[in-house]
Amino acid sequence: MAMYEVFSHPELRRYKTSVVSKASILMLAILALTFIPPLLVVYRSYGFWLREATYREQPKVAFKKEFIMVLDVQNDAEEDSVVYSTFQQYNNLLQSRLRIPIVKAREEDPNRDGKYDKLNLDIEVPMLATDRVVGAKLLLFFYYRLRRFSQFHMESLAYIEYSSGVPGASLQVFGDLSLQQKQLLGHKGTDKRYNF
């Protein structure tokens, strides 16, 4: 049995929209959620399957304007010491040997990164004509802070010691302050174990 076409009529439907529509915004949101969160996870995990890593950070170090100074002095008859400290109780204990110096302290930041790189400390001690200085000991107190991975706060100390058989009138010291880490630092919150 054969079939015959009796009538035909084409049908045309047109749907129009602008570039910015709810459908295009939804499509962009789905596309962004497909790529951006995995990239953030990879970035924050500092790499997949990481077994060991190290990093370097320049700490923020500030001189606390606190120090203890002991000068070994030879007189005509005996050896003695001259002391000064920024701690009042220590000065009260050793009043007979106390000499009050002129102290000038200046911290410098030559590379302007907001962290001090250099400390210029000038201590001038009034001495008697018979005093001959043959040794010096100096304890300088610093505030030491790391912020990048570990929130680490610590009071630190620089120890300077010099002795000589020949008396001298001045001493210049150049040195570097460094942290020798023997334990892991805390990674949550602020680590203040050594802040005293």
The whole-number pLDDT of residue 50 equals 72
- Per the structure, the count of domains in the chain is 1
C-alpha to C-alpha distance for 71 and 123, rounded to whole angstroms: 12
109 assigned to some structural domain: yes
Residues 133, 71: Cα–Cα separation, whole Å: 7
**pLDDT at site 190:** 81
Residue 125: what pLDDT? Answer: 92
Range of the domain at 90: 60-191
Residue 151 is predicted with a pLDDT of 86
Structural domain includes residue 132: yes
Residue 52 lies in a domain: no
Report the percentage of the chain scoring pLDDT > 90: 37
* 103 inside domain: yes
Position 79 scores a pLDDT of 83
* pLDDT tens profile 25-73: 999 999 999 999 988 888 777 666 777 777 788 889 999 999 999 999 9
Residue 121: its pLDDT value, please? 92
Q: Which residue numbers in the chain have pLDDT < 70?
A: 46-48, 196
Letter for the amino acid at 138?
A: L
pTM value surpassing 0.75: no
The answer to whether residue 122 is domain-embedded is yes
- Residue 59 has a pLDDT of 87
Of 122, 101, 103, 108, which Cα lies nearest the Cα of 62? 108
- Considering the domain boundaries, does residue 86 fall inside one? yes
Residue 148 has a pLDDT of: 82
